[in-house]
Amino acid sequence: MKDQWITIKAVSLINNCPECYSTDGLELTLKQEFIDTKFSKSITQNISTQMHCTTCNTEIYPERWTEDIERIYDYQMKAFEPKQSSKKMKPLFWVLLGSAAITIAILVAFITTYKLA
């Protein structure tokens, strides 16, 4: 099972970076969890956010956010629409399901034929 995070939205912010005070490097990235297994692929409602300053190349954690950054973050979270949850079965699942159904059908036919004889 592989958990991956798909970037759904990346927003450049005009706020001052709490580390270098630059106004043109702050970026907010919103990601959604994607799970890939042998039998299925699915998109969950789990959301991850990450703030990064491209000027000073620093990860900005929520403890360092100013009121302005928090306000912009709240606005972006309200405006953000994640992809709808979904689950898609892979061909291996359908092959195994079909094989199991055929095996059960053969067993039922064999048992009913054997009882009648």
Looking at residue 22, its pLDDT comes to: 84
- Domain membership of residue 40 (yes or no) is yes
Q: Are 31 and 7 in contact (CB under 8 A)?
A: yes
Q: Per-residue pLDDT tens for 23-70?
A: 888 999 999 999 888 898 898 888 899 999 998 999 999 988 889 999
Give the bridge partners for 86, in sequence order. Answer: 43
Domain of 69, in residue numbers: 2-89
pTM over 0.75: no
User: Is residue 117's pLDDT more than 60?
Assistant: no
Q: Are 27 and 70 in contact (CB under 8 A)?
A: no
- Domain membership of residue 115 (yes or no) is no
- Domain membership of residue 112 (yes or no) is no
- Domain membership of residue 109 (yes or no) is no
> Structurally, how many domains does the chain consist of?
1
- Domain membership of residue 117 (yes or no) is no
- In sequence order, which residues have a C-beta less than 8 Å from that of residue 64 and are 6 or more positions away? 18, 19
- Domain membership of residue 57 (yes or no) is yes
- Domain membership of residue 103 (yes or no) is no
Burial annotation 69-88 (CB, 10 A radius, 16+ → b, else e): beebbeeeeeeeebeeeeee
